[in-house]
Amino acid sequence: MNQMHAHAFDIGGPPLDEPKTLVEGAYRQLRRDIIEGRHPPGEKLRVEHLKDQYQVGAGTLREALALLVSDSLVVAQGQRGFRVSPISLSDIEDITRTRVLLECEALRQSMTAGDEAWEADVVSAFHRLTRAEEKLASDVEGAVNEWEERNRLFHEKLIAACPSRWTRQFLGVLYQQSERYRRISVLTRPVPRDVHDEHEKIFEATIARDTKTATKLLGGHIMRTFRAIESLAELHPGVFQPLQAAAAENGARPAVANDAARDKS
């Protein structure tokens, strides 16, 4: 059955199925806008404004927002409406560590249970990711979105043979979260380190069925992504923290670094 609500790992990038309902359409658009940072963390999501923007009734948008709570992308506060889930550096670290724990275990199980068809999918996904990384290096317009998509698919295919649906579901949620802050950091500086080499080594170890090496590399890879964000946050203090509290009023540009210090006085 085509589940209306699905997490990141469940839905393929190109919309294979059109949204069957307005609620689902609004849900998908909103999810995309949140993940890609058009609705920054902490922003208040006013139904009255958003219903015009997304061309649906108030009740419909409300339901879409309620569905987004499933992905932990939106939080609902009693009589005070909805807002985008806040992000802090410690939260990002938590997301990363939990992801390492689950994704390494999932890869281990996937490598144990995976058959030839799975292997072929992994090869294919790695190939596509490689091509996207080449385009990214050439600084082609719009290559970032494609790279994000293929990076997600590569990670997804790696663990696709893991028999635990719950593990995959949780990883889907965590991946969405990490994509959110990765996108934010990209706004400041493009990816500097050699991710392709990391991906390649993970890929080779996986195909060689070297479980120990593959999980170790994958864990290091995820952790290193976080370290990059971390050092970036130190260079630009208040890139993440303010977004949590400041809560851009109505789509206001995140007036990030300035306000942080003034709060104390």
Partner DNA sequence: AAAGCTAAAAATCTCGAGAAAATGTGTTGA
Partner DNA sequence: TCAACACATTTTCTCGAGATTTTTAGCTTT
Catalog residues that contact its own copies under the rule CB under 8 A: 1-5, 19-21, 24, 59, 62-63, 66-67, 69-70, 72, 75-79, 91, 94-95, 97-98, 101-102, 105, 163-167, 169-170, 174
Please give the Cα distance from 215 to 106 (Å, whole number): 9
- Of 20 and 131, which CB lies nearer to DNA in the complex structure? 20
Query: What is the total count of residues that contact DNA (CB under 7 A)?
Result: 25
CB of 173 to its own copies, least distance (A): 8
For residue 194, the number of C-alpha atoms closer than 13 Å in the C-beta half-sphere is 4
- Residue 98 binding result from its own copies, DNA, none, given CB thresholds of 5 to 8 Å by partner type: its own copies
H helices of 69-210, where? 89-113, 116-137, 143-158, 165-188, 195-207
14 vs 78, which CB is nearer to DNA? 78
123 binds DNA (CB under 7 A): no
**Angle formed by the axes of helices 165-188 and 89-113, to 10°?**
130
Site residues (CB under 7 A) for DNA, limited to 10-69: 20-23, 44-49, 55-60, 62
Pick from 261, 256, 249, 259: which is nearest to 83 by CA? 249
Q: How far is the CB of 85 from its own copies (least distance, A)?
A: 11
**Site for DNA, residues 131 to 170, rule: CB under 7 A:** none
Report yes or no: 76 and 118 within 8 Å, Cβ to Cβ.
Answer: no
On whether the CB atoms of residues 250 and 49 are closer than 8 A, the answer is: yes
Interacting residues with DNA (CB under 7 A): 20-23, 44-49, 55-60, 62, 76-82, 250
